[in-house]
C-alpha cells in the first residue's frame, strides 16, 4: 500500500508498504479521507515530536475491511472514523479518568502508523461507526470536531451568553458553530483574513472584526459594556492569549484553546484575575467526546463541508507539507 | 385604569382603579402585553392560591412611565419586561442564593398587583430593559422563557446529546428550542395534538410521536437503543412522569418540569434508579435567568411569535378564564 | 491453591486449584485479605448473578508475585488492592467515559475468578499500589470505600451542609466519615442497631436515631426547620427510600445509595419533587475513584479498622455464607 | 458612641458619635468584637479605597439592640455576625446571581459605617444569627471564613486530593482547615515564619516548608511525582502566583486567592496552560456563603480561636493601624 513515511524533520517519503496485520482487538480500515492538520506541519518542521519511520495522519475516516477475533462492536463494511489517541489505562491520569493526560499516550499517526496510507490498523476501542448520510470528507474532521467539543465542555457557555472567538481557522469556525449550539446569543469573531471573516458570518457570527484594523476591545465595550461571558482563543498566538483575558467580563471564562509556541511567555496582571474573578482554562485534545462528535456529524448541525478548501492525493502530500498554504485556506484533506 | 381583579375562585371583575403610586425603588410601567398562563386558570379555578382583590397577570411587558428616586438602571421610555418573583433576602434560601425557594416569596400578579391592568408597579430589581427589535408580544413571554432556561440549566444537555421531550404546549415548544440551542443532536417530541406536533417539527424536532397512538418506548429503542441522554417532562401529568423515567438511558437525566396535580402519586421502582444510575430533577421557576432570557429574545434565536395563537383585550379576559380553550391553542396574550 | 468455587445458588465448594497463569498485561497476586460483602450473600442465595464455577471474592488485597511482560506500572513485592470492575472500552458508555455503566462489564469475583483463593490474576489497569503504612485488612475495604466515594462525588455535599444518613452498616459508616470529610457541619444517622449507633457517634455523627422508636422527621424539624441539604439512603430498603425524600430540604439532594429489592415499588408524589425542586440521584459502583480511595487509605483519614467485626479463614467461608450473621456485625473479612 | 473615623490615608480619629437610627429593614447591633484585616491597613495607607469620614471595620459581631419594623427574621438579643457586602440587585451581575461582582457594591466599614464603633447599623439581609456556643471572637472571623469558603467552593477539592497551600497567615490557615474538610488526603503548606508553620502542622498540615530555605518544587516531586491536584495561593505576592502554577499537576486547578499588588505583572508560559490543561481561578469575596460559614462556626470544625494572636481596645486601634505588626501575628481583633 502507498504510504507517507516520516524520516525526521523535512524528510518524508511516499513508499510502498505491506498491508498491516491486525490483532484480536484491532480492525483494518481502508482509508477514504484523512485531514492534514497544523500538527502535521509542526511535525514536518521538527516543531512537534513524532516517531521516526511512522506513517503520519491522525485525522482518519474509512471503511472496515477486517475485524479482530475479539471485536464485537464493529463489522466489515462499517463506515468509521477514528479517534487517534490511545491511553494506557494504568497511569495516574488514566486511573482518574483524565485519559487524555495519560503519561504513556500513544497516537495513531504520531507514535504508531496513521492514515496517510491506503490502509490503517486501529484498536476497536478507538473506532466509531457513522451513519450512511455522512461523507468521508466530513468524517475525516471528527478529530478536530471532538477536540473543539472538549473545549466547549470546559468553556461552560450557557444559553444567552455573549461569546468572543479569536481566530477563524478551521478550529475557530468549528468552535463558533459549537458556541452557537451551546446557546450563545451573540458570537463575535476576530480574524485578519477577510475570506474567513465572511465564512464566519455565514456560519452564524453576529459580527466580525479584523484584529489588525479594528479596535476590538473598544468595539466590544460599545456592544456590551461588561465584556464577554466567555472568550475563546483559537489562534495559538501569545498576543491573542493576552487579548482574550482583556475581553472577558468580571466573572467570565477564558478558554485557551490555541497551541501557543512552547517557549514564549506573556505578561499577565494577577490583580486582574483576582479582582475580576476570572477563570482561565487550557483545553487539551479530546477525552470521551468522540461519540458525541459523531452524533453531531450525523445530525448535520455543524457545517464541516464549508471548511474543506483543498483536497490532495497522497502523492501530492510531500509538496503540500513542504510548501506554504494560501492564507485563505481553511482545511486540507487527503482523498483516496 | 382598567384592571382585572380577583375576588376568589370563579370570581374576577373588570374594574376601574387609580393609577398606582411608586416607591423610591420602583417603576411605573404602562402594560403593553401580558401572557395568560396555566397558573392564571388554576388560580381562577381555586386550584392555585392568590391574594384576594389582587390584580392578576404575572407575564408582563410594557413601557416605563416613571421611575423612583433611587432607580438608576432604568429610565422613562424604556421598553421592559418584568420578572414577577420578588425574594425577601433574609431567609435560609435567600442567604444561600437559592432565591426562587424563598420562604417569603412575593409575586407580581399573585400576591401583589399584576399586569392584567393598564399600569403596573414593579421594583427596579425585577425590571429588564429590552432592545427595540423585540415586540411586546414576545417580551410578554420572557417569564415562561426564563423558567424554561432554568430547567435547561438543570437538565445538563451537552452538544451531541439525544433528548426526548414529553408535551408540546408553549412550555414544551420553548424547551425544544432551548434543547436544540444546547446542542442536542436529536430531539424527539411526544404530543397528542397533531397541530402542535407539526409546530414541533417546524421548530426543529427530529421526530414527533402521538402518545396515544404510537409506542414511544419501542420507537425510541429502534432509534437509539440506549434511551435518551436527557428526558424532559413538560406536560404536568403523572403518566408522563412515569414515562419520562422509562425513556432515560443508563446514567441519563430526567427533568421534571411540568407541574403535576398536588395530591397524585406514582409508583417508581427504586432499583431502576440505582441500577441505571438515574438523576431525577425538579425545576421550579426562574432564579437569576431573566437577563439571559432577554438576550435570547433580542437575538431572535428562539421563535416565540409562532407560539402565540390567540390575543384578547382585557375586557374579554373574564370569559377567557371562564371558558375552555380550543385544544390546539398554544399561548394566549392580552394586548393593550 | 485453596479456592472457594461457586456452583450455583446454595452450592459453593472449597477446592484445590492450580495457580493461574498470567497474560502480558496481567499480574499474579497472593491474596492476603478479602472482604465478604452483601453481594456475596446475594450470589450465594441466587438473588444476584455470578458465573457458574467462578471463584468468588471481589474485595481483594494482596502482594504481587509476578507481572506480565507489558506491565510497567507495578512490580513483584508491591502491596496492592484491586478494583474488580473491568470495562470493555468499546460500548456506548465506555466511549462516553461512564465506564461503570459498560454494557459488557466484567468483574473479578463475579464473572472471572476472584479473591476467595490463595492467588488471583488481575489486569494491571485494575491494580493499585498502596504504601507500607496501610494494613491488608484495610486494603480489602478499598472497593466499598471507592463505591462510597463515587456516591459522595454525586451527592455534592459542601462545607457547612447538614446531612442525614439512613443506615449505619459498613457502607453507612464509611459514607458518614466521607460526609464529614466533605465538610458536613452536622451528620445525623438513623440506624436500628444500638451498637452501630454507638459506632456512628464515635465516628463523628452529631446525633443518632433509632428509626423504629424515634420520630426522625419530627426531630429533624426541631434541629433544622428546613430539612437536610443532603440525605443519603444507605439501607437498601424501600421504606428508607421514601423517607429519604421526605427529609430533604427544598432544593436539597437525595443520594439513593442502597440497593433496593429488584421488584419492589414505592409511591412518590411528583408535585413534591417539582415544588421542593429536589434532586434524586442513584449511585452505581466506582468509576475512576479507586486511586483517590487509596490516597484516603494511606492518609488514615477514614477509620476502616473499626468496621471489621469478624475475620474468617477460607475454610470457614461456606458456613459463613450459609449461616446468619449476628446483626451487630458490620464487616467480615477472609484472612489468609 | 466611641468610633474610629477615617479621614484619608494616614488619618484616623477616635470620635464620639451619636448612636445611629435604623430604617425599617435594618437592625442596630451593639458591637462585641471586630476583626482588623489587611484591607484596613491598605485603606489606612491609601492603597485601597474607602469613603472619607466613614467608620471603618468590616468584620463584625455583636448583639441586636433594635430591629426595624419590617424585620421578621431577627430579634432583640440575638447574637449575630454581619456580612459587610451589600449588593444593588439591579445591575448585570446582580441579575445573574453573581452579586459579589455587583457594579454598585456597598460595604459596611468601607462605604458605609462599620464596626470600629460601639454600635453599628446593618440591613437585616446581611445579619446572621449564631448559636450560643460560639464566642464573639470567633464570630468576628465569619467574613474571612466566608471568603475562604467561596474560594474552596471554586477550588473543587475532592476527597483524596493532594493540596498545596502557599502562605499560612489567617487566610492560609483557614483555607488549610477547609481543604482538609473538603477531603484533602494531604495538605502541604509553604510559609516563611516558623511559628506559623508550627501552627499549620497543629491544624492538620501533612508537611510544611520554608519557601526561602527549602526547594518546594523538588520536595513536592518527591512526595507526589505528578504535582498537586489543587494549589492555593494565599500570600498575595506575585512570586507565589508564579509558583502556584508550577506546582499543579496536569489537569490540576490553581486558586488565586491572595490579593496581589495592583500594578505588578508576572510572566506565564501559555503553552504550559494548554499542555498541562490547567485551570486558573480568581476568588473574590463571599457571595451566598455566610450561612454555611455560620454553620461551620457552630459546629466547631474549624479552629479560629488559635488564629487570634492579639486583641486591642478601640482606643489602641489608631496606633495599631499606624504601627508594624510582629510578623508572627496571625489575626488581631478589637474587643469591646
Ligand atoms: N486544544 C487542542 O486540543 C487543539 C486541537 C486542535 C488545534 N488546536 C490549536 O488551535 C489553533 C487553531 O487551529 P487552526 O487549525 O484553526 O489554525 P489556523 O488555520 O492557523 O487558524 C488560526 C487563525 O487565526 C488567525 N489569526 C492570526 N492572528 C490573529 C489575531 N491576532 N487575531 C485573530 N485571529 C488571528 C489566522 O489568520 P491568518 O490565516 O491570516 O494568519 C488563522 O485564520 C492552533 O493553535 C491549533 O494548534 C488546539
Ligand atoms: N417548572 C416550572 O417552573 C414551570 C413553569 C411554567 C410551566 N410549568 C408547567 O409546565 C407544563 C406545561 O405547560 P404548558 O403551558 O405548555 O401547558 P399545556 O399548554 O397544557 O401543554 C401541555 C401539553 O402536553 C400535552 N399532553 C397531554 N398529555 C400528554 C401525554 N400523555 N404525552 C405527551 N403530551 C401530552 C397536551 O396536549 P393536549 O393539549 O392535547 O392535552 C399539551 O399540548 C405545565 O404543567 C405547567 O404548569 C412549569
Ligand atoms: N451503590 C453502590 O454502588 C453500593 C455499593 C455497596 C453497597 N451498596 C448497598 O448499600 C447498602 C448498605 O450496605 P451495607 O453493607 O452497609 O449493608 P448492611 O450492613 O446491611 O447495613 C444496612 C444497615 O441499615 C440498617 N437498617 C435497617 N433498616 C433500617 C431503617 N429503617 N432505617 C435505618 N437503618 C436501617 C441495618 O440495621 P440492622 O442490621 O439492624 O438490620 C443495617 O445496619 C446495601 O443495600 C448495599 O447493597 C451499594
Ligand atoms: N480573595 C479574597 O476574597 C480574599 C479575602 C481575604 C483575604 N485575601 C487575601 O489573602 C491573602 C492572605 O491574607 P492574610 O490575612 O492571611 O495575610 P497575611 O497574614 O499577610 O498572610 C500571608 C502569609 O504569607 C506568608 N508569605 C510571605 N511570602 C511567602 C512566600 N514566598 N511563600 C509562602 N508564604 C509566604 C507571610 O509570611 P510573613 O508573615 O513571614 O511575611 C504570611 O504569613 C492576602 O493577600 C489577602 O489580601 C483575599
Ligand atoms: Zn495512562
Ligand atoms: Zn427569602
Ligand atoms: Zn463498555
Ligand atoms: Zn448589583
What's the CATH code of the domain at A19?
A: 3.90.180.10
C196 and C241 together in one domain: yes
In-domain check, residue C296 = no
In-domain check, residue B299 = no
Cα angle value C230/C233/C239 (rounded, 5°)? 125
Mutate to test the pocket of ligand 3, among C149, C172, C207, C241 (most ligand atoms within 8 A of CB): C172
Residue B163: the pLDDT is 97
Query: How many A from CA of C95 to the centre of ligand 7?
Result: 7
In-domain check, residue B295 = no
Q: Which residue is closest in CA terms to ligand 4's atom 9?
A: D258
In-domain check, residue A288 = no
Task: Tell whether A71 is within 8 A of chain C (Cβ).
Answer: yes
Q: What whole-number percentage of chain C has pLDDT above 70?
A: 100
3-state helix, strand, coil in chain C (%, to 5): 30, 30, 40
Pairing of the two strands B186-190 and B162-166:
parallel
Average pLDDT, chain A: 96
Residue B247: the pLDDT is 96
- Whose cell is 498541562? That residue is D276
C319 and C278 together in one domain: no
Instruction: Report the residue of A67, A73, A128, A290 to disrupt the C interface, i.e. the one with the largest count of C CBs within 10 Å.
Output: A73
In-domain check, residue D243 = yes
A318 lines ligand 1 (CB under 6 A): no
B175 lines ligand 2 (CB under 6 A): no
D328 and D277 together in one domain: no
In chain B, what is the straight-line distance between the N-terminal and C-terminal CA atoms, in Å? 12
Each residue's pLDDT tens digit, C316-328: 999 999 987 787 8
Exposed, middle or buried, C111 (CB in 10 Å: 0-12/13-18/19+)? Answer: middle
Closest CA to B237 of C277, C275, C270: C270
Residue C324: the pLDDT is 76
**Is there a contact between D268 and A268 if contact means CB atoms under 8 Å apart?**
yes
Task: Tell whether B185 is within 8 A of chain A (Cβ).
Answer: yes
Measured distance CA(C285)–CA(C257) in Å, rounded? 9
Each residue's pLDDT tens digit, C38-62: 999 999 999 999 999 999 999 999 9
D165 and D269 together in one domain: yes
Query: How many A from CA of D124 to the centre of ligand 8?
Result: 18
Instruction: Report the residue of D159, D162, D178, D251 to disrupt the C interface, i.e. the one with the largest count of C CBs within 10 Å.
Output: D159
B133 and B256 together in one domain: no
CB B321 within 8 A of CB B14: no
Closest CA to A106 of A118, A94, A95, A119: A94
Query: How many A from CA of B72 to the centre of ligand 4?
Result: 38
Quickly state the pLDDT bin for C221 (edges 50, 70, 90): confident
Measured distance CA(D194)–CA(D216) in Å, rounded? 16
Q: Is the pLDDT of residue D178 over 80?
A: yes
CATH of the domain at C276: 3.40.50.720
SS3 label, residue C78: coil
Quickly state the pLDDT bin for A152 (edges 50, 70, 90): very high
Q: Is the pLDDT of residue D71 over 90?
A: yes
D200 and D329 together in one domain: no
Q: For chains C and D, what is the number of CB pairs under 8 angstroms?
A: 74
Q: Is the pLDDT of residue A223 over 90?
A: no
Residues of chain B under the 70 pLDDT cut: none
Measured distance CA(A136)–CA(A30) in Å, rounded? 11
Q: Is the dihedral of CA A315, A316, A317, A321 positive or negative?
A: positive
**Is there a contact between C71 and A89 if contact means CB atoms under 8 Å apart?**
no
In-domain check, residue A25 = yes
B189 and B257 together in one domain: yes
Q: Up-side HSE of residue A19: CA atoms within 13 Å toward CB?
A: 9
Please state the domain count of chain B: 2
Write out the E strands in chain D.
2-6, 12-16, 26-36, 59-67, 79-82, 85-86, 106-107, 119-123, 127-129, 162-166, 186-190, 207-209, 228-233, 248-256, 266-268, 279-282, 308-312, 331-335
**Is there a contact between C185 and D149 if contact means CB atoms under 8 Å apart?**
no
Instruction: Report the residue of D238, D271, D272, D281 to disrupt the A interface, i.e. the one with the largest count of A CBs within 10 Å.
Output: D271
Write out the E strands in A146-257.
162-166, 186-190, 207-209, 228-233, 248-256
The residue that leads in pLDDT, B330 or D214, is: B330
**φ, ψ at A301 (rounded to 5°):** -70, -20
Residue A58: the pLDDT is 98
Query: How many A from CA of A96 to the centre of ligand 5?
Result: 9
Which chain B positions have a beta carbon within 8 Å of C270's beta carbon? 238, 241, 256, 260, 264-266
Measured distance CA(B5)–CA(B114) in Å, rounded? 10
Which chain D positions have a beta carbon within 8 Å of B99's beta carbon? 97
DSSP result, C146-212: HHHHHHHHHHT--TT-EEEEE--SHHHHHHHHHHHTTT-SEEEEE-S-HHHHHHHHHTT-SEEE-TT
Measured distance CA(D127)–CA(D115) in Å, rounded? 13
Give the contacts of D318 (CB within 8 A, at least 6 positions apart): D4, D12, D13, D14
Give the contacts of A125 (CB within 8 A, at least 6 positions apart): A25, A86, C89, C90, C94
D312 and D238 together in one domain: no
Residue D222: the pLDDT is 78
In-domain check, residue B61 = yes
B196 and B261 together in one domain: yes
CB A124 within 8 A of CB A74: yes
Span A138-153, mean pLDDT? 98
What phi-psi label fits residue B23: left (phi over 0), alpha (psi between -120 and 50 degrees) or beta?
Answer: beta
Other C-beta atoms within 10 Å of D275: how many?
Answer: 16
Q: Is the pLDDT of residue A327 over 90?
A: no
A215 and A330 together in one domain: no
Residue D325: the pLDDT is 75
Residue B76: the pLDDT is 98
Exposed, middle or buried, C213 (CB in 10 Å: 0-12/13-18/19+)? Answer: exposed
Measured distance CA(A169)–CA(C195) in Å, rounded? 67
- Is this prediction's pTM over 0.95? yes
A170 lines ligand 1 (CB under 6 A): yes
Task: Tell whether A154 is within 8 A of chain C (Cβ).
Answer: no
Cα angle value D242/D245/D247 (rounded, 5°)? 110
Task: Tell whether D95 is within 8 A of chain B (Cβ).
Answer: yes
Using the 8-state DSSP alphabet, how is residue A9 labeled? T
> All 3 cell numbers of residue D87?
449588593
Average pLDDT, chain B: 96
A110 and A191 together in one domain: no
Q: Which residue is closest in CA terms to ligand 3's atom 39?
A: C327
Closest CA to D147 of D1, D292, D307, D325: D292
Q: Is the pLDDT of residue A324 over 80?
A: no
In-domain check, residue D297 = no
Q: Is the pLDDT of residue C231 over 80?
A: yes
C53 and C34 together in one domain: yes
SS3 label, residue A86: strand
Q: Which domain holds residue B206?
A: 148-282
Task: Tell whether D313 is within 8 A of chain B (Cβ).
Answer: no
ipTM reported for the complex surpasses 0.85? yes
Q: For chains A and B, what is the number of CB pairs under 8 angstroms?
A: 74
Distances in Å between the alpha carbon of D326 and those of D172, D240, D289? Answer: 18, 22, 31
Give the contacts of A227 (CB within 8 A, at least 6 positions apart): A220, A221, A247, A248, A249, A250, A252
Q: Which residue of C has its CA nearest to D150?
A: C159
CB B234 within 8 A of CB B261: no
Closest CA to B122 of B130, B131, B135, B113: B113
Q: D261 CA to chain B: closest CA distance, Å?
A: 31
Residues 207-246 of A with CB under 8 A from D: 225-226, 238, 241
Span C3-9, mean pLDDT? 97
Q: Which residue is closest in CA terms to ligand 1's atom 25?
A: A167
- Whose cell is 472471572? That residue is C112
**Is there a contact between A295 and B181 if contact means CB atoms under 8 Å apart?**
no
Q: Which residue of A has its CA nearest to D256?
A: A274
DSSP result, C273-294: HHHTT-EEEE--S-TT-HHHHH
* Closest residue to D91, CB basis, from B73, B92, B290: B73
C-alpha C208 chain-centroid distance: 22
Residue B223: the pLDDT is 76
Measured distance CA(D237)–CA(D264) in Å, rounded? 9
Q: Which residue is closest in CA terms to ligand 4's atom 17?
A: D169
Measured distance CA(C152)–CA(C286) in Å, rounded? 11
DSSP result, D92-126: HHHHTT-GGG-TT-EEBTTTB--SSBSEEEEEGGG
Q: Which residue of A has its CA nearest to C90?
A: A125
Amino acid at each position: 500500500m502507498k504510504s507517507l513515511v516520516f524520516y525526521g524533520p523535512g524528510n518524508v517519503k511516499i513508499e510502498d508498504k505491506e498491508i498491516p496485520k491486525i490483532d484480536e482487538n484491532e480492525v483494518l480500515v481502508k482509508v477514504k479521507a484523512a485531514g492534514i492538520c497544523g500538527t502535521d506541519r509542526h511535525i514536518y518542521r521538527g516543531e512537534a515530536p513524532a516517531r521516526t519511520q511512522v506513517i503520519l495522519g491522525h485525522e482518519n475516516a474509512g471503511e472496515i475491511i477486517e475485524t479482530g477475533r475479539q471485536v464485537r462492536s464493529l463489522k466489515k463494511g462499517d463506515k468509521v472514523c477514528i479517534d487517534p489517541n490511545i491511553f494506557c489505562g494504568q497511569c495516574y491520569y488514566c486511573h482518574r479518568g483524565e485519559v487524555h493526560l495519560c503519561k504513556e499516550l500513544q497516537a495513531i499517526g504520531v507514535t504508531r502508523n496513521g492514515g496517510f496510507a491506503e490502509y490503517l490498523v486501529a484498536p476497536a476501542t478507538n473506532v466509531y461507526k457513522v451513519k450512511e448520510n455522512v461523507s468521508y470528507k466530513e468524517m475525516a474532521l471528527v478529530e478536530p470536531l471532538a477536540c473543539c467539543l472538549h473545549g466547549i465542555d470546559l468553556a461552560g457557555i450557557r444559553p444567552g451568553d455573549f461569546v468572543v472567538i479569536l481566530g477563524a481557522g478551521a478550529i475557530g469556525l468549528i468552535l463558533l458553530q459549537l458556541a452557537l449550539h451551546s446557546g450563545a446569543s451573540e458570537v463575535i469573531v476576530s480574524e485578519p483574513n477577510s475570506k474567513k471573516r465572511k465564512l464566519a458570518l455565514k456560519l452564524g457570527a453576529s459580527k466580525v472584526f479584523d484584529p489588525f484594523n479594528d479596535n476590538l476591545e473598544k468595539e466590544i465595550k460599545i456592544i456590551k459594556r461588561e465584556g464577554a461571558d466567555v472568550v475563546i482563543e483559537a489562534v495559538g498566538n501569545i498576543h491573542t492569549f493576552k487579548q482574550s483575558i482583556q475581553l472577558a467580563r468580571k466573572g467570565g471564562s477564558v478558554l485557551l484553546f490555541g497551541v501557543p509556541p512552547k517557549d514564549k511567555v506573556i505578561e499577565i496582571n494577577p490583580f486582574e484575575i483576582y479582582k475580576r474573578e476570572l477563570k482561565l482554562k487550557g483545553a487539551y485534545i479530546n477525552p470521551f467526546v468522540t461519540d458525541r462528535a459523531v452524533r453531531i456529524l450525523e445530525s448535520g448541525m455543524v457545517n464541516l463541508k464549508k471548511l474543506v478548501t483543498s483536497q490532495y492525493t497522497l502523492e501530492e502530500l510531500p509538496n503540500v507539507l513542504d510548501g506554504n498554504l494560501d492564507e485563505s485556506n481553511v482545511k486540507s484533506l487527503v482523498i483516496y
